[in-house]
Structure 1
Amino acid sequence: MNDSKDVLFSEYNLNGIKLKNRIVMAPMTRSFSPKGVPADYAPSYYAKRAAGGVGLIITEGVEVSHRAASGYLDVPNLESDESKMMWEKVVSAVHKNGSPIFCQLWHVGGIRKLGMPPFPDVPGFTPSGCIKPGKKVAYEMTESDIEELIEIYASDAKICEELGFDGVEIHGAHGYLIDQFFWDAINTRTDQFGGSLENRARFASSIIQETQQRTSAEFQVGIRISQWKQQDYEAKITSDRDELNLFLNILKNAGADFLHCSNRRFWEGEFSENGLNLAGIAKKTTGLPSISVGSVGVDKDFIKLYAGDHQTKTTDLNKLHQKLNNAEFDLIAVGRALLSDPEWANKVQNGQEKDIIPFDKSFVENYV
């Protein structure tokens, strides 16, 4: 093995869960789950990435069992017996190929539009009725609604443990429901869930705390966070390092087992061009295991995909090796590169980068 790859392909102990390397399959919405039931091909899809060398699998976003959770068609959930059976098959297939698997629990919040099945009359749920600053277009949650959702997240996490998952990742990023609470530009509440940073993080911290109480000590409960939002790529939860440190420690003190920190480009510093990225700051501040992510192995970020510029080239991993070798973060999540080539990790480890299948939009539209 090339010395520069030693850390990337070294084992990692994630709070007692042994990972064969530092590579994580990033959660990616596939929309191949009619009526919330994962497709028959789902076990093979995930197992191929485990067999292809990925150390940890995080599932696509799985809707929590709430009437307003869905914002996109054909996204999986945990509600029916058929869905649970398919997830058991996914877990078994991944475990047989030597990787643990976490389920990402997701609620879209105000991104939901009226007309979404199976409850077309249910609006998007938000902290203050807004999905963008100054525009009230959705339902403002009551404290009773918030308490109901805290219970639902914890209950669904317990279901995940019963199905054999090794942990859950709570989706608190990218402008979806939990992130809408974090974001002071649209969370204008004046109760215990709005105002100060501690209050805006209370919904997330309560979910983490309740989930930890419902699940075993071995079961991992982490959260995915981002500064940027799909509503505003320049938005930030915090604008300086001290405030960010406070925010990260709130999540740690709530009981988060790991922090998955989403950047659009993993090599960019959070507050300076050459500084630590969000995952790097999270690790340094909290000491928790941190996962970085953002355009690994591809030459364009995902925004260009949605703008129609979807043909990418495979890029070298020199910056990634440098950051891992400097212990800036612990794990790296890979997204699009694994959609196009399930063997990406093995090919990188074996020096076969020239054989990696480059990503393009066709790999989003089809299961591989």
Structure 2
Amino acid sequence: MIVEQQTDREALFQPLRIRGVELRNRIVMSPMTRGFCPDGVPAPNVAAYYGRRSEGGAGLIVTEGIAVDHPAAVGDAGLGEDNIPLLGNAASVDGWRKVVAAVHAHGGKIIPQLWHQGAMRKPNTGPHPHVPSVSPSGIWGPLGRMTSIDPKSIPADPRIGEAMGEAEIEGAISAFVRSAVNAVDAGFDGIALHGGHGYLLDNFLWEGTNQRDDKWGGSRARRSEFPAEIVRRIRAAIGEDLPIFFRFSQWKQQDFRATLADNPDELREVLQPLADAGVDVFDASVRYYNRAAFDGDSASLAGVAKRVTGKMSMAVGGVGINSGMYDRDKPAAVVSDFGPLLERFKAGEFDLVAVGRAMIGDPHWARKFREGQPTEPYRMDADNILS
């Protein structure tokens, strides 16, 4: 058993500079879809929601997934098709400008998670229902795998359309860049890209959805070329001062047991092109942060990502809570033993700690964690309210 020392928590409250942005501490609010943006525009209650987490001590907030300015970016995510936030038109940019101001007012920083659902977008839904969904090879993913997706939402045929052509690929890349530029205009402190969970960027990374044999597919490095090109173009568009975060995951919604890599060397093949393109922080999305990523290696996925790329990394997955995101049959309870988390941080495995559902449950989680105070629990009905 790892015994937590009183001073260990304070290590997470040291500032961290990433390019030209200084975070006051290492506690991050993890991105979590909320769906409270009518017509894609965040209302005052969204600004107040994120502002409370900044007031509660979070050093950095990564917003819920924000649809990039592409007609096939998002559809029904189970939260109302018209409530997924956008970052395209003037109204949405102005709405996010107010959110940024609310976070900055309490000393926190905030970056948007740019999101394209790719193969996971439900057909005939979203702001542009008649536009077909896109994926690199026109494939949803292999069927019959372990998943929590409602069977009614799984296609009968894994092929959902045609492979993306060059014009479609260029259109998707341009959409990410436009949205990143809009984010900077709104005052965000950097950019986060959602490259996991079976969405578009992950569709290119994963061989289950990318079966191309051109420059956008084949080897792991070539499958990384599409998101790497997005990173390069965003870096060129926003300049050198703002950080770029990249979320990746082994698991996919289509297949919980899927992997991008089965050992550290293979993970280097996946991530190095992204690191070279300009990613500053790898957000390693796992269900349980404290599990070893590979056999024979005790490091977490965040730890391996940091080791093989030399870039910063962020741990996420069940911090402050005793169940994984998809363990719906297991009530989520507050965790008070942070010894394993602090031990891994002290060992240098990761630079940032992202807190998800625990921070939905308690907007002052960061402050209470620092002071050793009990926190409020996450409740399932919190998914339907914005508090």
Write out aligned runs for 1:197-236 (5 A): 197-236=220-259
SS, match of residue 308 in structure 2: helix
Residue 343 of structure 2 is aligned to residue 322 of structure 1: yes
Q: C-alpha distance in 2, partners of 1:65/1:139?
A: 21
Q: CA offsets per residue over residues 90-123 of structure 1, 9 Å max, x none?
A: 0011111111111110000011122213211122
Question: What are the ranges of 5 or more consecutive residues in structure 2 without an aligned counterpart?
Answer: 144-157
Q: Among all aligned residue pairs of Structure 1 and Structure 2, give the percentage whose two residues are the same amino acid.
A: 39
The answer for the alignment partner of 1:347 in structure 2 is: 368
SS, match of residue 233 in structure 2: helix
Q: CA offsets per residue over residues 146-198 of structure 1, 9 Å max, x none?
A: 11111111121111111100111011011101101111122111211111112
Q: C-alpha distance in 2, partners of 1:6/1:40?
A: 33
Given candidates 268, 279, 283, the residue that maps to 2:302 is 279
Residue 109 of structure 2 is aligned to residue 88 of structure 1: no
The answer for the alignment partner of 1:69 in structure 2 is: 73
Q: Which of the two has greater strand per residue?
A: 1
Offset, 1:312: 2.7
Aligned length: 364
Partners of 1:124 and 1:139 within 8 A in 2: no
SS, match of residue 205 in structure 1: helix
Cα distance change of structure 1 residues 29 and 139 upon mapping to structure 2, 3 Å threshold: farther
CA RMSD of aligned residues (A): 1.5
SS, match of residue 8 in structure 1: helix
Given candidates 95, 108, 116, the residue that maps to 1:99 is 108
SS, match of residue 178 in structure 2: helix
Which moved further from structure 2: 69-78 or 328-337?
A: 69-78
Structure with the bigger RCO (C-alpha within 8 Å, sep 6+) is: 2
Offset, 1:313: 3.4
Q: C-alpha distance in 2, partners of 1:118/1:203?
A: 25
SS, match of residue 249 in structure 2: strand
Partners of 2:322 and 2:332 within 8 A in 1: no
Partners of 1:50 and 1:57 within 8 A in 2: yes
The answer for the alignment partner of 1:11 in structure 2 is: 15
SS, match of residue 131 in structure 1: coil
The answer for the alignment partner of 2:381 in structure 1 is: 362
Scaled by the length of structure 1, the TM-score of the pair is 0.95
Residue 58 of structure 2 is aligned to residue 54 of structure 1: yes
Q: C-alpha distance in 2, partners of 1:255/1:274?
A: 27
SS, match of residue 228 in structure 1: coil
The answer for the alignment partner of 1:241 in structure 2 is: 264
Residue 55 of structure 2 is aligned to residue 41 of structure 1: no
Partners of 1:25 and 1:58 within 8 A in 2: yes
Scaled by the length of structure 2, the TM-score of the pair is 0.91
The answer for the alignment partner of 1:335 in structure 2 is: 356
Amino acid at match of 1:180: N
Partners of 1:110 and 1:138 within 8 A in 2: no
Q: CA offsets per residue over residues 302-321 of structure 1, 9 Å max, x none?
A: 1023xx54443334211111
Partners of 2:264 and 2:308 within 8 A in 1: no
Which moved further from structure 2: 326-335 or 118-127?
A: 118-127
Q: C-alpha distance in 2, partners of 1:176/1:15?
A: 28
Q: CA offsets per residue over residues 286-310 of structure 1, 9 Å max, x none?
A: 22111110000001111023xx544
